[in-house]
Amino acid sequence: MAIIAVSNFKGGVAKTTTAVCVATLLSSDGDVLVIDADQNQSAVTWAAAEKLPFTVVTEKASRKAMTGNAWAHIIIDSQAAPGTGEVKALMEGSDLLIVPTSPDGPALAATGRVFGELPEGNAIALITMVPPKPQLDGDEAAKALDIAEIKHFDRKIRYGKAYKRAFETGVTVPGLGSQLRAKALWRDWEIFKTELQPYLEEN
């Protein structure tokens, strides 16, 4: 079993989207539990229609959910704007901490603060909400992370309206079928999973 936490100091970087998409990817491997620790409870809202292939619970209900259940993986969607101590605790209590960051300056700065204040460990950035080519925002964000010596996934996650539609209808992105380029956008996550796999195999 792998425990994966998703967090950043800044909101609006696709934190919940990342948690839900990672849970979707891993649900093909076994039962997945998503713990929604965000006060906004976006993951709980996404799951309200009961169409997702995994279980979502609030942080308060997580202890009961984990008792007597053999989860293949646990995903923690952290609270919005957590403090340094909380992110450090998440990293220490998980097998992998994913730090999603959009390619804009404020998000990259917040990501830099996360890695600057964490000890050496199992944290890795994921560049999200990347605009389409020919815009170079994603490549420039990767260069900025490289210069700052921040470890990040090679695969970047493109922005698309399919994420909003999936949330509104309570389904996964691949559950949208051919709507709003969902298949093309989901390909980003399928490639991302090949990079994620080695971390899962360690646990």
Q: Which domains does the chain have, with CATH numbers?
A: 2-195 (3.40.50.300)
The residue-averaged pLDDT of 132-145 equals: 96
Question: 51-98: per-residue pLDDT in tens?
Answer: 999 999 999 999 999 988 889 999 999 998 888 789 999 999 999 999
* Residue % of the chain over a pLDDT of 90: 89
User: What confidence category does residue 128 fall into, taking pLDDT thresholds of 50, 70 and 90?
Assistant: very high
pLDDT at 179 (0 to 100): 95
For the chain, percent helix, then strand, then coil, each to nearest 5?
A: 45, 15, 35
pLDDT at 69 (0 to 100): 80
53: Cβ–Cβ under 8 A, 6 or more apart, which residues? 24, 27, 32, 172
pLDDT at 68 (0 to 100): 83
* Residue % of the chain over a pLDDT of 70: 100
- 198: cis peptide before it, omega within 30°? no
| Burial of 41 per CB tally in 10 Å (0-12, 13-18, 19+) | middle
pLDDT at 53 (0 to 100): 98
Question: 148-170: per-residue pLDDT in tens?
Answer: 999 999 999 999 999 999 999 99
Mean pLDDT of the chain: 95
User: What confidence category does residue 202 fall into, taking pLDDT thresholds of 50, 70 and 90?
Assistant: confident
Q: What is the pTM of this model?
A: 0.96
Question: 22-51: per-residue pLDDT in tens?
Answer: 999 999 999 999 999 999 999 999 999 999
pLDDT at 201 (0 to 100): 84
3 in Cβ contact with 93 (< 8 Å):
yes
Distance of CA 153 to the CA centre of its chain: 12
pLDDT at 187 (0 to 100): 98
Bridge partners, 134 (sequence order)? none
